[in-house]
Amino acid sequence: MGASPILKASAMPAALPSDPSFDLAIVGAGIIGLGHALAAARRGLRVVVIDRDAQANGASVRNFGFITVTGQQAGAMWQRARRARDVWDEIVGPAGIPVIHRGTALIARSDEALAVAREFAQGEMGEGCALLPPSALDDKLPVARRDGVRGFLWSPHELRVEPRTAVPAIARWLETAHGVTFLRNAAVHGVAPPAIETSRGTVRAARAVVCPGPDLVTLFPETIAKYRPTLCKLHMLRLAPQGPGWRLGASVMMDLSFGRYLGFDGCPSVAALRARIAEREPETLANGIHLIVVESADGSLVVGDSHHYAATPDPFAPTHVDELIVRHARETLALASDQVIERWTGVYPSADNDTPAFFDTPAPDVRVAMVTCGAGMSTGFAFAEEVIADLCG
């Protein structure tokens, strides 16, 4: 069996820096916080990132590591995803992050899904994508099942990294190559530049960005509440390595994703597809499941996911939800093994479709920044550039 990637923490100072004074303090060392650190460091700012945990432990390391462009909501989110993908391409080499595979196959197993794929490929957001016949799976995705496949949308835009190792690698690279300071195991309980009050003492910074992730109540809760976020819990699974000769080579989605991703909303046929899904897969729809499968370097597959919303999601992961996810994976791919070797849940902030991300100004030198649609890995670097430009001019 393949071993799960091991998390490695960045250097954790035993005490505050000898000169705890910075141009910018960032609260939160997830991918959104790291994106802000990168954008600020590229401007030549002296940056400190403060986090309550010893290492990346939240949604940033519990996702697919799938940098998604095709399917992102039209407008700002799609533009951010394109820019963020380019930033990932810029940093993976210097940061020593392997790109495990590129491209996405969105497999259409119904006439309704095929119609959506065709309409999308013909539109502006389908630039670079192609609608291909089932026979093209022999080249693009030979491990896909052929039965019932009407065709597939091929997108060349995506890349996949292993988030459990990529996120710590970015932090280490920011430390060594850009001089970013990380203060870990430090809870922030006051942000009023130039004073940032932490459980390990006062850090001085001229400006601050708060990237709270799923913590909606500790810092600037009134500001966050204006956007009415809740929390989303998702189920994720790792399937055993598929064996010699079995290679995915791209990220995989199918009909359910055509129905769920907001980037397909402009396609006239999407309503008919959603009606079909509601009729044929009511339990899948009730659990917010849409299939994504990606491959890890050891040949294991990360499979998901589901979506359950609550102000405080419960910590439980019912087996029947996992079984639904695996069933869709079996229907889509000719799996050599569907043995589950690892399970986990993730939690991220979620707001309505009109607020996929926001930043706000609770004080002149402070910004609160959140991605509220589960697309932090896919859009966070570009979003952070916007926030830093607004804060620093």
Are residues 348 and 216 in contact, defined by beta-carbon separation less than 8 angstroms? no
pLDDT value for 18? 66
Are residues 58 and 214 in contact, defined by beta-carbon separation less than 8 angstroms? yes
For residue 65, the Cα-to-chain-centroid distance in whole angstroms is 6
pLDDT value for 16? 65
CA 370 to CA 381: how far, in whole Å? 12
Q: What is the pLDDT of residues 79-108, one digit of tens each?
A: 999 999 999 999 999 999 999 999 999 999
pLDDT value for 310? 97
The 8-class DSSP code of residue 75 comes to T
- Classify domain 101-160+230-350 by CATH number: 3.30.9.10
CA 132 to CA 295: how far, in whole Å? 22
pLDDT value for 353? 85
Backbone φ and ψ of 379, nearest 5°: -130, -10
pLDDT value for 15? 59
CA 218 to CA 241: how far, in whole Å? 41
Q: Which CATH class is domain 21-60+164-227+354-392?
A: alpha beta
Q: Which of 113, 146, 148 is nearest to 131 (CA)?
A: 113
CA 170 to CA 382: how far, in whole Å? 16
Angstrom CA distances, 15 to 11, 178, 201, 264, 382, stand at 12, 21, 9, 49, 32
CA 267 to CA 269: how far, in whole Å? 6
Domain range summary for the chain, segments of one domain joined by +: 21-60+164-227+354-392, 101-160+230-350
Q: Which of 385, 374, 301, 289 is nearest to 340 (CA)?
A: 301
Beta-strand pair 21-27/201-210? parallel
The DSSP annotation for 303-342 comes to EE---EEESS--S---HHHHHHHHHHHHHHB--S---EEE
Q: Which residues of 5-21 are buried (b: 16+ CB within 10 A; e: fewer)?
A: beeebbeeeeebeeebe
The DSSP annotation for 183-218 comes to E-S--EEEEETTEEEETTEEEEEEEEEE--TT--SS
Are residues 322 and 180 in contact, defined by beta-carbon separation less than 8 angstroms? no
Q: Which of 381, 125, 375 is nearest to 263 (CA)?
A: 125
pLDDT value for 13? 46
CA 38 to CA 345: how far, in whole Å? 28
pLDDT value for 21? 85
Query: pLDDT tens per residue, the chain (393 residues)?
Result: 344 443 444 444 445 666 668 999 999 999 999 999 999 999 999 999 999 999 999 999 999 999 999 999 999 999 999 999 999 999 999 999 999 999 999 999 999 999 999 999 999 999 999 999 999 999 999 999 999 999 999 999 999 999 999 999 999 999 999 999 999 999 999 999 999 999 999 999 999 999 999 999 999 999 999 999 999 999 999 999 999 999 999 999 999 999 999 999 999 999 999 999 999 999 999 999 999 999 999 999 999 999 999 999 999 999 999 999 999 999 999 999 999 999 999 999 999 989 999 999 999 999 999 999 999 999 999 999 999 999 998
Reading the block at residue 113, the tokens are 């899904």
